[in-house]
Amino acid sequence: MLTGSSAYLPLTLKAMASMANLMAAADPAKEATTHFLRDQFHRYYNALKPTLPDRFGRREFGFMFWTPGIVQRHLGFAKEEELKAFLSSRVPTHAYYSSAYYDNPNAPTMEEKGWLGADLIFDLDADHLPNAAKMSYPEMLEAIRLKIIHLYDDFLRSDFGFEEKAMRLVFSGGRGYHIHVFDERVWPLGSHERREIVDYITGKGLAVDSLFRESAFDKKEFQGHTRVKTMIVAPTKEDPGWRGKIMRGINSLAAKLETLTSDEAIKFLTSFEGVKEGDAANLYENLFKPRQTKPRVIRGVDRLREGQIEALSDRNRDLIIRLVKELQPVRIDERGGVSLDGIVQRGETDEPVTSDIKRLIRMPSSLHGLEIRGEVFNLAPGVNDVPQYLAIFLAARGLATVMPEA
């Protein structure tokens, strides 16, 4: 984070519709902007103590620079001082390191590197949230923050048993977060095993009906015929894996609906794809309409909390389970990370980041996103005098150019 001078700088804010024309015509401004940003990046890296990944001497590093198309990868650093010197002298625009460990990270080909293992990387991006287009930037970050906590606590710690000391949360620099799992048990996993972990977390192929079992509660014999009555038994909130998640999710959804008025609850339920207003109203009534008042008020939601899933009609039970199934899984960004093979400026491949055992990911503490000190700025296209930290952000994002000196 750059926290230097708040001195005001003349800055030309681009009109987005004509940005390409402005950039093509404003070479002096472009050069001044690059020079300004490079100086600020150098100042940052010169004072930086890099946040190093575990076993960083076994990792490959890759960098992008200020001239489009200039990329350098297949680099390894034996000491922290070497990496710091590189950042300070070369001043890259982007810094990446591999999730994999290699016998010889400096080797020019993947075959010569000698793959030793890889961390497990999860990338959650706000762009993949439902209704992301309708959210403000802070709303997206808050929503994705809740998802990352859900992934961290309810899957990686609870289900897979990874300890806190073997995981690291990292802001991705855009609209999401990474979780790096460097538990040595994941190092030898291949792409197929990592894909299975993703499938479990995202609930792919989950047969929810199998989580509920049928149990006989009454048996009668009449004229040689046996009649058995059965009931559906729900899992408990304490059950491991998806059984407990589904039941906790049902109770959590019911608790949320209980805080809403009937109209608010119906509006919330119909926000899910395919949920009709009549079905939403029927579920709300099934949950909260009193069924008896003496000796105490009993509602469907009260029986549900006691584990009596049959307190709901079949239609309502199926609906609430479907909604919970949609809410519980974590949507993992399958286009995270970056491949620097043949890259021009910046790009990415379709290979899922979690199952890719050779992917490069952004280096924590490198410059790739800046806060603006909690302030809001409304700037019109044209020349504006802005604080230095805002100038750095806008120029680095390609939204403005620094006015060249006369």
Catalytic residues: 123, 125, 350
- Between CA 170 and CA 69 the distance in angstroms is 27
- Between CA 27 and CA 97 the distance in angstroms is 32
Tokens of residue 276, six digits: 């009709």
- Give CA separation, 98 vs 261, 341, 394, in Å: 50, 13, 29
Tell which residue, 94, 96, 54, 60, has the closest CA to residue 77: 60
Per-residue 3-state assignment (H helix, E strand, C coil) for 105-149? CCCCCHHHHCEEEECEEEEEEHHHCCCHHHCCHHHHHHHHHHHHH
CB atoms within 10 A of CB 156: 23
- Between CA 123 and CA 353 the distance in angstroms is 7
Contacts of 373 (CB under 8 A, 6+ apart): 389
DSSP sequence for 368-397: S----TT------SEEEEEEHHHHHHHHHT
- 3-state SS, residue 48: coil
Tell which residue, 128, 117, 132, 123, has the closest CA to residue 169: 123
The DSSP call for residue 16 is: G
- Chain length of the chain: 406
Contacts of 200 (CB under 8 A, 6+ apart): 155, 159
Please report the beta strands in 42-83, taking only residues with DSSP state E, as ranges in sequence order: 61-64, 71-75
